[in-house]
Structure formats: C-alpha cells, structure tokens
Amino acid sequence: SVSCVQHVSQSPPKLDLMHNGEAMSPQDSKPSAPLLPPPSPPPPGPPEYPRPKLIFHTQLAHGSPTGRIHGFTNVKELYAKIAEVFNISPSEILFCTLNSHKVDMQKLLGGQIGLEDFIFAHVRGETKEVEVTKTEDALGLTITDNGAGYAFIKRIKEGSTIDRLKTVCIGDHIEAINDQSIVGCRHYEVAKMLKEQRRGVPFTLRLVEPKKAFDMIGMRTRAPKSNEGKMVNGRETLRLRSKGAATVQEVVSNEFEERATKKVDDLLESYMGIRDLELATTIVEAGKDKKNPDDFAEALDSVLGDFAFPDVFLFDVWGAIADVKNGRL
C-alpha cells in the first residue's frame, strides 16, 4: 500500500476468463456469388481440456458458515465476492488472513493465494479514539494496507510510544488522524503523516479493531478438506494483479529471491515505516537483472514511481540485492 509459462511438448491448457460465452451457429443466408471450396481443415492437434474453475473457501474470521468464491482477479474483487457470499458491504472487510482466523500478520493475504489456501475475512469491529503524544521521533508503528484503501497496524515495537498505549493493537485499522479521514491512502502515505506529527503535541488516532468472536467454536464450521473445484498440480498460487487478469503460477523455491525480498522488506520498515512483502517482491524483481544502480532506479521508477523512494533507500536496496546475489548476506 495491497503483484508462468510451463514449457511442454504440447500446448499447455490455458485458463481463459469468458463472459457467459457460447458457441454461435452461423446464420443461414443465401450466397450472392458461388462460394469457393472450403480450405482443407488443419490436422487435428492434441485435445484441449478446460481447466476447472478455481474455487476458494472462505469464512468470516469471527465465525460464520463456509462460503465458496471464484472469479476475482484483484483484492477489491476478492472483497466484493466475500461480501456477496455473506451479505455484507465490501467496506466492512478490513483484511484477510490465510489458513488462520487469528489476527496473525504472518498469515496476511498479500498478492498471492495458494490454490489450497482457506481465506478468513476480518471485518470491522469496535471504533476507538486514542490520544497520542510523541516522546521520540518514531512512534514504533509499522503500517501496511489491504490493497483496497484501508491502512492498518502490522507491528508495534516493544517499549515504544505506541506500545505503552495498551488500547492500540496489531490489526487495528487507522481510520483517521486528528479527525482527518485517511481511508483510501496507501500505507506509505499514512506512515509519512504519522512521522510528521510533532513531538510533545498530542494528536488523535481513530482506530477500528477487527471484530472479535464471542463463541469461536460454536459459530465456526469446519473447513472442508476436499479439493473440489481446485486444479492442483504441485504447489500453485493465484497471483492477484492490480492491472490485468490474475494468473496461476507454480511456486518455485528461490533462495535468492526469498532472502532478498526479506531484506528489502526490512529496509521498507526501516526507511518508510511500512512492511509489504508484495511491494518488496516487486522491487527485487525490478532489480535482480540490472547491471548498475541507475538502471535499477529507472526500472523501479517505471513500475513504482508513485512511491518517490529516496535515493539513499534505493542505494541501500541495490546494495542488499547485490550482497544477497554474491552470498554476502
């Protein structure tokens, strides 16, 4: 703030999004001129097998029956599908976690969903207002966002100003700063606003916490274990994209990319007060094949120009990617 082609000896099956498409029969018509003989049909190729529709199971994290969703390509569409199943507004959904109903930031849904992942939607709970006074430059907050306009707290540094305010919790959505709504702002914009608050001057945070369950066991139904509606071949994920269609990708373990992405995520937190693995992945992808910092900066600007990363951050990121590549990290 909330982005493969398999080479085989024959054409791989494709997942095409269609809008209620049906084969149409040609209309009968009387030709006004003699028709040329039809060309010889091409030799029959291998039969095409349509891929099954990708169906995901979902529940509301505070407890609900299990719903089934499909046909989304980005986070906003995902929220709309979940909202439709449970008859709520998409704006009620703060964020989603995968395979855990708990507010667990390690399980946060990012830009990829495993085809076997179970989606838990955390919805708006109680609203609270907290007065904060900075006693040091950093508040001790790390911000992320849900990709659909809501920034929330991903981490609280132990012993920090925010840590001493026990009413502020991980998972709380920051709805307003000093009564100014920040709904629709990206995580880095919210982090910048908080950083600009002056020391010794009180300011107010309006927070919305995720809805808590009163009877988690009684309300929750068991997650189904069947693979119904899934196309499973090894470990595959659906990668959501802000522009264009979602794509199914096979997860290939890449130690360089994993280590570089983690390091870049750490640098995002250090410089900008945010954590965002999808953003870190995009940065690593932009830099892994570049020969020098200038090419890297140009590539990054073309895909992430809105962020206006400071030069010192870019040099540190370039250095971290080079260190991981050369085995120094």
Of the listed ranges 204-208, 257-261, 275-279, the least confidently predicted one is 275-279
Element (H, E) at 167: none
> Is the CA virtual torsion 280, 188, 246, 210 positive or negative?
positive
Of the listed ranges 38-47, 77-86, 90-99, the least confidently predicted one is 38-47
User: In this structure, are residues 270 and 309 in contact, taking their beta carbons and an 8 Å threshold?
Assistant: no
CB count within 10 Å of CB 222 equals: 6
* CB-count exposure of residue 192 (10 Å: 0-12, 13-18, 19+): middle
- Identify the pLDDT of residue 41: 66
* CB-count exposure of residue 95 (10 Å: 0-12, 13-18, 19+): buried
Alpha carbons 249 and 170: distance in angstroms, whole number: 31
* CB-count exposure of residue 107 (10 Å: 0-12, 13-18, 19+): middle
CB count within 10 Å of CB 219 equals: 14
Alpha carbons 328 and 321: distance in angstroms, whole number: 10
Mean pLDDT over residues 281-298, rounded?
86
Which percentage of the chain shows pLDDT scores above 90?
30
Of the listed ranges 1-5, 146-150, 184-188, the least confidently predicted one is 1-5
Each domain of the chain, given as residue ranges in start order, spans 55-210, 253-326
Rg from Cα positions in the chain? 24
Query: What is the residue whose two structure tokens read 């990206």?
Result: 186
Query: What is the residue whose two structure tokens read 């507010």?
Result: 103
Assigned CATH topology for domain 55-210: Pdz3 Domain (2.30.42)
The answer on pLDDT for 16 being more than 50 is no
What count of Cα atoms within 13 Å lies in the side-chain half-sphere of residue 242?
13
Alpha carbons 147 and 74: distance in angstroms, whole number: 9
pLDDT digits (tens, 9 = 90+) for 164-202: 988 999 999 999 999 999 999 988 899 889 989 998 999
Q: pTM value?
A: 0.66
